[in-house]
Structure 1
Amino acid sequence: MANSFALKTFTALSDLHPNMVNLKIIGIVIGKTDVKGFPDRKNIGSERYTFSFTIRDSPNHFINVSSWGSEDYIKSLSYSFRIGECVTIENPLIQRKETEREEKFSPATPSKYKLLLSENHSMVKVYSSYEVDTKLLSLIHLPVKESRDYYSLTDIIANGHSLDGRTINVLAAVKSVAEPKYFTTSDRRKGQRCEVKLFDETEPYFVMTCWDNESILLAQSWVPRETVIFASDVRISFNKFQNCMTATVISKTIITTNPDTPEANILLNFIRENKETNVLADELDSYLKESINLNTIVDVYTVEQLKTNVKTEGNADPFYGILYAYISTLNIDDETTKVVRNRCSSCGYLVNEASNTCTICNNDSSGLKSVFLSFDMLIDLTDHTGTLHSCSLTGSVAEETLGCTVNEFLAMTSEQKTTLKWKFLLERSKLYLKLVSSHRARGGLKVSILSCKLADPAEASRKLPGQGHI
């Protein structure tokens, strides 16, 4: 048995002391940070690299492990294993940790020590799940904090500013995981972010943001509406722009996926029992969002070319294209303009506000459950060749474009809405469009926006028609 083998061969974390040599430790990785480089003070002009991780070998014992070395060594070691995998560590250096200073940035652990890995003397080996006893593997489902020591999402929202800047524990279900977004900072460092939407019995929507690659990789493995997480030591902050409380995964954070605790099981039962009801809004949102794969749209056009192409086609079939343009009209801060409207929960179409009924289903939409709020706005797009008027920006595409939900938008002040508007009016955007000839639409052209994101200037100048692309 692997477990009896481990007992004879490996030193338990609970037995560690600084004078030990020729150590061999086994544990499951429960947390991990990204690789970082720092200027090497001993060798001016060169860099040293580091990353850290946390391993556990029993319910009550886990410890932080740090490694420093050359870029090749550190990156190779880091890429060799992920959170949830079992590793053995040979010949680490045991050091007494400076609790107050180190746990400011690292996960809090019950051990008085930390482990250091040396490029020349230490070794890490990864074991497959088939080689490891299930008792060790099951530790990945135990939170590192007491199972009742957490805030509900409604408690976080209710406490508001008093929690701003604090690190707390959160137990919640995963509602959705967005695709990672990659960016380059002003000092040319590459970064990424991933937004995870959470919910529980008390609150239908709460945002947690991951900024490091390790937590993003973990988040990508979560199945929406089937996964519960216990996130220890996430930072809570008030997002002034979105006017709401949010959580951020930091270097102290350890996230336990599908924790094996009574509280997590109650929440899991709740999301299973309410899955059919709760998934309705998601299905309708997908219905409103065009199902076409954006990767299949590759041709770049100007406004003039789009107008000409659709008229030349002369039929009702949709025409797709990419446009680099400025949003020239975005009346989201005009109180007289309707930006959010009710849609029918049965078919997804707009509800007639005068009769309060769905014109497609002819259903009375006075009941709370028969309608849902959705962005529904018309914007103008302009490039150097002309303007596309009254382009439709709706549903989740509008949410992704503006970076907020309908409820968050409705909670904004007029000043915040104006700030949001000018974020787009001053910048060139990359837009994926669906165009259809329609005698009822302005200019005989109905334009639906499938995706709208701020454009990379170099990409836009390289791909603009007239620049050698078309």
Structure 2
Amino acid sequence: MANNGQVQDFVPISDLHPNTTHPRVAGVIIGKTDVKSFPDRKKIGLDRFTFGFTIKDSPDYFINVSSWGNDRYINGLSNSFSVGDCVIIENPLVATKDSEKDDRFCPSTPSFYRLMVSEAHSQLSICADIEIMNRLLPLLHLPVKDYRDFYSLGDIMANGQSLDGNVINILAAVRSVRPENIKYFTTADGRKGQRLEVKLFDDSVTSFPLVCWDREAIQLVQTLIPRETVLFISDARIGYDGFRNCMTATVNSKTIITVNPDFDPVVWLYFIDHTILLSSVESVSDVYTVSQLKLKAQENSEVFCGITYSFISRLDLDGSISKVIKSRCSKCRYQVNEESQSCSNTACPGVDHPLTVTTGFDLLVDVTDHTGTLQSCSLNGTVAEKTLGCSHNEFANLTEDERTAIKWKFLLERCKVYFKITPSSKSRSGMRCSVLECSLADPGEVKQNMSALGSSCSPVL
């Protein structure tokens, strides 16, 4: 085989054409299906085997590849590489794709063509050239769809069964992956199969099932680190699970999963800030007084989390509903103008797309202990729902007296507050505080932890 380092020998995917002679293509595998078999119409009693995959060689171009052959060749070829590998394909057949059939069962690609790899005429090998790999591997983190065109999990839940059967894009984080929960089965015709369910979450939904049936998809998701991995899932099929009475997403032959996608920094930072860090309560153990956390925020430019046993000294629940529950743009999280039903952010990445909104609690609370007060702490979304014991829709239907009763359940009561402090040059205090979890505190737990803090609890005037 020719030297892999000779990049000029490779034909870019964007230049491929049926008239291209003996093409040589290098790309990174971004998607792959399992091997399937069908009865051979020409050779009665024998099966033909096939599988497909998708390769990418530039930010904007990728193409589907298929291969047909006997059991030995197809399974041997399929087992030789996985998603994330860089490969070199020599002398594939460049064929015009059937746009209706191919786009229905395969990932939608910008190319008018598809590649076919055969045992008689083609060769596929793993690329070992470092220079080529360094050029191709970053493409794994570029979504194959517009990064602004996605549904949040809250959008899916809000639309409910109206999305049943639709194929959509999803941006979410991995909550849990349990390889020991893979279920193996045998179909009525003797075919073996498997199923693994991954739990996703974002700032609007705490747990959402993603179902994987293909061995290739299961192999990919098993490598993901829960609570540290974000996924852009292109063309996931949405369905309604009547047994569990919930919506689900399923990986199918069109789906491309992009791990930790590389896109607009504003959207990325917001997602990390409001999703990944919101999931970190289980690992938070440091206890602070209000004065201690203020001091740490002044001395530390990094985000940090902690616990404070403080009184809720401001909780405005019995005023205007519009000040308690707000709608925000799903793309940039800016508040939606209720009158015009438009995003208030002129630089919103979804400006050219139909407006989709996420509605939920949007509160600012004050927490106070004997050392001082931490003002304007954000208490939003599902954290607020868990704290108050009702959804935002249920709260909107409560009477004023019922809302006031919820308010006084917490106001001036000692609470255990998990918080996240983020440096902010736009805030007068130089920081932003987000509540990660809040519940009425156990007196014994308060006494034990406050005693441990001891003399370090110096009052702040």
Give TM-score scaled by structure 1 length. 0.58
Deviation at 1:261, TM superposition (A): 1.1
Matched residue, 1:106: 106
Distance 1:231 1:279, change over 3 A: farther
Distance 1:265 1:90, change over 3 A: farther
Matching of residue 268 in structure 1 with residue 238 in structure 2:
no
Matched residue, 1:391: none
What amino acid is aligned across from residue 274 of structure 1 in structure 2?
Answer: L
What amino acid is aligned across from residue 259 of structure 1 in structure 2?
Answer: P
Deviation at 1:181, TM superposition (A): 1.6
**Structure 1: runs of 5 or more not aligned:** 281-363, 372-470
Of residues 207, 210, 214 in structure 2, which corresponds to 1:208?
Answer: 210
Deviation at 1:269, TM superposition (A): 3.6
**Aligned pairs, number:** 290
Matched residue, 1:176: 176
How well do the aligned residues superpose, as a CA RMSD in angstroms?
2.6
Say whether the 8 Å CA contact 2:4–2:129 is kept in structure 1: no
SS at match of 1:187: coil
Matched residue, 1:19: 19
Percent identity between the two aligned chains? 53
Deviation at 1:8, TM superposition (A): 1.0
SS at match of 1:18: coil
Deviation at 1:249, TM superposition (A): 0.3
Deviation at 1:47, TM superposition (A): 0.5
CA distance in 2, matches of 1:193, 1:265: 33
CA distance in 2, matches of 1:95, 1:61: 16
What amino acid is aligned across from residue 277 of structure 1 in structure 2?
Answer: V
Matched residue, 1:376: none
Deviation at 1:178, TM superposition (A): 2.2
CA distance in 1, matches of 2:78, 2:163: 34
Distance 1:220 1:3, change over 3 A: farther
Provide, for residues 388-427 of structure 1, a one-character-per-residue CA deviation record: whole Å limited to 9, x for no partner.
xxxxxxxxxxxxxxxxxxxxxxxxxxxxxxxxxxxxxxxx
Matching of residue 137 in structure 1 with residue 137 in structure 2:
yes
Of residues 181, 185, 188 in structure 2, which corresponds to 1:186?
Answer: 188
Provide, for residues 167-207 of structure 1, a one-character-per-residue CA deviation record: whole Å limited to 9, x for no partner.
00000000001222211223322110010000011111111
Matched residue, 2:311: none
Provide, for residues 76-111 of structure 1, a one-character-per-residue CA deviation record: whole Å limited to 9, x for no partner.
100000001100000100100011121111000000
Residues 49-448 of structure 1 correspond to what in structure 2 (within 5 A)?
49-128=49-128, 130=130, 132-179=132-179, 180-262=182-264, 263-277=267-281, 369-370=438-439
SS at match of 1:73: helix
SS at match of 2:280: helix
Say whether the 8 Å CA contact 2:7–2:132 is kept in structure 1: no
CA distance in 2, matches of 1:110, 1:41: 33
Deviation at 1:370, TM superposition (A): 4.7
CA distance in 2, matches of 1:229, 1:89: 28
Deviation at 1:125, TM superposition (A): 0.5
Distance 1:45 1:141, change over 3 A: same
CA distance in 1, matches of 2:53, 2:268: 25
Say whether the 8 Å CA contact 1:26–1:88 is kept in structure 2: yes
CA distance in 2, matches of 1:129, 1:215: 26
What amino acid is aligned across from residue 242 of structure 1 in structure 2?
Answer: R
Deviation at 1:129, TM superposition (A): 7.2
SS at match of 1:27: strand
Deviation at 1:130, TM superposition (A): 3.6
Matched residue, 2:32: 32
Say whether the 8 Å CA contact 2:5–2:129 is kept in structure 1: no
Distance 1:6 1:261, change over 3 A: farther
Provide, for residues 20-72 of structure 1, a one-character-per-residue CA deviation record: whole Å limited to 9, x for no partner.
11110000000000001110000000001000000000011000000000100
**Structure 2: runs of 5 or more not aligned:** 285-413, 418-436, 441-461
CA distance in 1, matches of 2:57, 2:91: 17
Deviation at 1:270, TM superposition (A): 3.2
Provide, for residues 239-262 of structure 1, a one-character-per-residue CA deviation record: whole Å limited to 9, x for no partner.
101101100000000000110112
SS at match of 1:144: coil
Provide, for residues 268-323 of structure 1, a one-character-per-residue CA deviation record: whole Å limited to 9, x for no partner.
3434433431557xxxxxxxxxxxxxxxxxxxxxxxxxxxxxxxxxxxxxxxxxxx
Greater shift in the superposed pair: 256-265 or 19-28: 256-265
SS at match of 1:132: helix
CA distance in 1, matches of 2:281, 2:213: 32
What amino acid is aligned across from residue 16 of structure 2 in structure 1?
Answer: L
Say whether the 8 Å CA contact 1:228–1:264 is kept in structure 2: no
CA distance in 1, matches of 2:185, 2:73: 26
Distance 1:279 1:164, change over 3 A: farther
SS at match of 1:148: coil
Say whether the 8 Å CA contact 1:89–1:124 is kept in structure 2: yes
What amino acid is aligned across from residue 281 of structure 2 in structure 1?
Answer: T
Distance 1:366 1:173, change over 3 A: closer
What amino acid is aligned across from residue 14 of structure 1 in structure 2?
Answer: S
Deviation at 1:161, TM superposition (A): 1.2
Distance 1:146 1:217, change over 3 A: same
What amino acid is aligned across from residue 232 of structure 1 in structure 2?
Answer: S
Matched residue, 2:300: none
CA distance in 2, matches of 1:15, 1:70: 31
What amino acid is aligned across from residue 84 of structure 2 in structure 1?
Answer: G
CA distance in 2, matches of 1:46, 1:144: 37
What amino acid is aligned across from residue 163 of structure 1 in structure 2?
Answer: L
What amino acid is aligned across from residue 268 of structure 1 in structure 2?
Answer: I
SS at match of 1:159: helix
What amino acid is aligned across from residue 270 of structure 1 in structure 2?
Answer: H
